[in-house]
Structure 1
Amino acid sequence: MNILLEGIFYNGHGLAEGNRILLRFLDQAGYQVRIAARDRQEKNLVLTPQETRYISSFEHTELSSHDLYLYNGVGSHVRHRPEFCVNIARTTFETDRIPAFWVPELNKFDEVWVQSSFNLRSFRASGVNVPLRLIPNFFDMSLYEPRGPALKLPVSEPFIFLSVFDLKERKGYDVLLEAYLNEFSAADHVALVVKIRDHTKSDKVEELIARHPKPARDRPSVYVIDQMLTTSEMLGLYRASDAFVLPTRGEGWGRPFFEAMLMELPCIGTDWSGQTDFMHGENSFLVAVERFRQIANHENDMFNGHYWAEPSISDLQRNMRMVLKRKVEAKRKGRTARAELLEKYAMPKTAAKVVAEIAKYATRIREVNEARWQTTSNLLPYRSLVSDM
């Protein structure tokens, strides 16, 4: 089977990592795969030369027929490819619905893959009426080993809360900073380390801290990492931390939670959206939703009019304090989480789901290609006659 896989592959975004793993699934299954990389200009940012060579080699694969088109990326860019026998889209969204303009295009596809039960509900409620398939996120889980070298941090406090996020309102970093600064003081000897993607926006974090009413001398420590980290450095950052916290307003999946749980960190997160597929009261610390808020004046108009969760600041404070006070219980939950994820989301199981979804179209693709070949064959004498005249 010939497959065109489109998306991002080379940068440090979770979608790119997912596409690299998806590509390996397809390659190992024996499919003929060509990639259409939307981020070719970022080839040399985060990957090793060996990985870059492997990925880029698929940009030149010759496809002998247009069998299956698989798009894995942001839904705004999804476009049906009628020249392919089968079209599959894989995408996600983080609010109670998807943008209305996505729906007509997605409904042209043979099926749509989503990452979570949350998206099964939100896509269907938004009007997507083609078959929806739940395919969990893609991870190289073999990398996530809790034991190993820790990243050296300029932190003297004995307990570290870690948070990893883009500086977007959806991530709830404003809620995090308010709850942390409310709950703790310098006397608690704790630190909050935040890893952000965009170094040009770190002043947003500093402004929120400066506006907090607690006197500067009494505030607990906050450290910001705003530089690119390699995969091994990120793993070292998880190992250097004692707990993970992110009061997100909405996730399609919740990749940072999943990574932290694989690293056995006690995780604190909002009890709503994609992460609740793998986070529950026995393996993590869930923050109650105070209310659902309609989004307005968002910098990305796709979100306006939608609803997302407002996590309870007081419940977030309670959970952070609990993790600090009950370290033994917190560590037990971290171990439970890792064991559950390794069993339920093992990549061979996910790869098998991917291959099964694609393999079921083999008969249709063969029949369509035979019909196309027959049509072309019937035209050949006519074309020959025309050329001879």
Structure 2
Amino acid sequence: MAPFLSGGGYSSESWSYILALNEHVKNPRFKLAIEHHGDLQSLQFWEGLPHHMRNLAVELYNTECRTNETVVICHSEPGAWYPPLFDTLPCPPTPGYGDFMAVIGRTMFETDRVSPEHVKRCNRMDFVWVPTDFHVSTFIRSGVDPAKVVKIVQPVHVGFFDPVNCDPIDLASIGKPVLGLSNMNTSSKEFVFLSVFKWEYRKGWDVLLKAYLEEFSKADGVVLYLLTNPYHSGRDFGNKIVNFVEDSDLEKPDDGWAPVNVIDTHIPQIDLPRLYKAADVFVLPSRGEGWGRPLVEAMSMGLPVIATNWSGPTEYLTEENGYPLPVGRMSEVTEGPFKGHFWAEPSVDKLRALMRLVMSNVDEAKAKGKQAREDMIQRFSPETVAGIVTDHIKDILSSKI
């Protein structure tokens, strides 16, 4: 049970598991069934799915399960678990926890701890799956029963996100200029920085803009593309960026701002590999990530990645396959559901240096991108992760016999 039709992070992750299990588990001792749960449905996301995924969704939605033979996986934030704190189909469904063979919570957090209410909900589960060693540590330290916490990494579809299988998308045709002007009339190709995120403070868009605009000017021949969407905010991203720059201490270079373009239109799932293919480097100075889905997608596409060296990305980002961004300090979350928790403040100065380094050492960056794809194939391919999930479910089934 997961937000399969929402298009958010939990949605994409749940799909990655379903596809992995459906494609790579042969003659299992179990069958798959799915139910939408945990978030609103998005018709736009559904229509952007490849036909084979839509057909699979219908097939698995219609698969029937016997309650006492069922392992329920509640793949969502714990506030959606029974009893849910908002209007959603409860997970596990009625009659309740004790009537199923086992109930598993799959979740993650982007901060240094788990709230007491969520700890209580985790401890109702038979197991709690988390994606990284970072989460194993934070969940147990917060009070979740260590015997229940299991690390199950997230798969990335390395066959779908494969640079040899697609041509780059035309970024200029979908990006809206916000600052600066691209050198479209010159024969030289611009160096493209790409970031993908929902518009919220946690994602560090302010850190990215400050570092990029302080380090580069129009003369550098670079361009920054931001693919973003609203998160409890309006869609006027251009105005938000302009207001941020005007309210900051940033000084406009003599030859003009380095270009910043926003992509705020929906990019269908089927076109995402083409988006990554059009970039030279992916950058996301987030204050905290549960996993970092766009990061592993970019790495699977062979892109060098700059990302904050804290929380989820520490599971897969190394000096050999990318550019871990040092944390300047930890800061307290001042609003929202994680108020009072702490997360990372990535270093603006170190981000400036890394962005300049990647641009100035293209061969090194490409080598790291190549290693990134190899690491995704070795550690996080659907086949590999399907085996991890299957082994754990088999252990549960065996223990119940």
TM-score (norm 2): 0.84
Is contact 2:132-2:152 (8 Å) kept? yes
Residue-by-residue CA offset, 1:210-241 (whole Å, 9 max, x unaligned): 44532276210000000110123221111111
Of stretches 10-19 and 225-234 in structure 1, the one that deviates more from structure 2 is: 10-19
With 30-39 and 162-171 compared, the bigger mean Cα shift is at 30-39
Distance in 2 (alpha carbons) for counterparts of 1:258 and 1:166:
16
1:170 aligns with 2:202: yes
Aligned to 1:305: 340
2:332 pairs, out of 294, 297, 300, with 294
- Say yes or no: does 1:47 pair with 2:63: no
From the superposition, tell whether residues 316 and 41 of structure 1 become closer, same or farther in structure 2 (CA, over 3 Å).
Answer: closer
Report how many aligned residue pairs link the two structures: 358
Matched, 1:144 2:161: yes
Q: Which runs of 5+ in 1 are unaligned?
A: 1-5, 367-389
What's the counterpart of residue 393 of structure 2? 358
Q: Is the 8 A contact 1:264 1:334 kept in 2?
A: yes
Distance 1:215 1:24 in 2: 48
Structure 2 counterparts to residues 197-346 of structure 1, below 5 A: 197-198=229-230, 200-202=235-237, 203-212=239-248, 213-215=250-252, 218-296=256-334, 298=335, 300=336, 302-346=337-381
Give a deviation string over 1:233-284, Cα, whole Å, max 9, x none: 2211111111111111111111111111111111111111110111111111
Task: Identify the structure with bigger relative contact order (alpha carbons < 8 Å, sequence gap 6+).
Answer: 2
2:72–2:102 contact (8 Å) kept in structure 1: yes
- Please give the alpha-carbon distance, in whole angstroms, between the structure 2 residues aligned to 1:293 and 1:20: 33
- 1:58-107 superposed Cα distances (whole Å, 9 cap, x missing partner): 22322233331111111221236222121111100000001221111111
Once the 2 structures are TM-superposed, how far is the Cα of residue 164 of structure 1 from its aligned partner? 0.6
Residue type at the aligned position of 2:60: F
In the TM superposition, residue 25 of structure 1 has moved relative to its aligned partner by 4.6
Residue 194 of structure 1: aligned partner: 226
Identity %: 32
Q: Is the contact between residue 16 and residue 154 of structure 2 (CA under 8 Å) also seen in structure 1? A: no
More divergent stretch after superposition (6-15 vs 32-41): 32-41
Say whether the 8 Å CA contact 1:10–1:47 is kept in structure 2: no
- Whether 1:86 aligns to 2:102 is yes
Task: Give the structure 2 partner of residue 75 of structure 1.
Answer: 78
Change (3 A) 1:348 1:220: same
What's the counterpart of residue 98 of structure 1? 114
Does the residue aligned with 1:136 lie in a helix, a strand or coil? coil
* Native 8 Å contact 1:21 1:140 kept in 2: yes
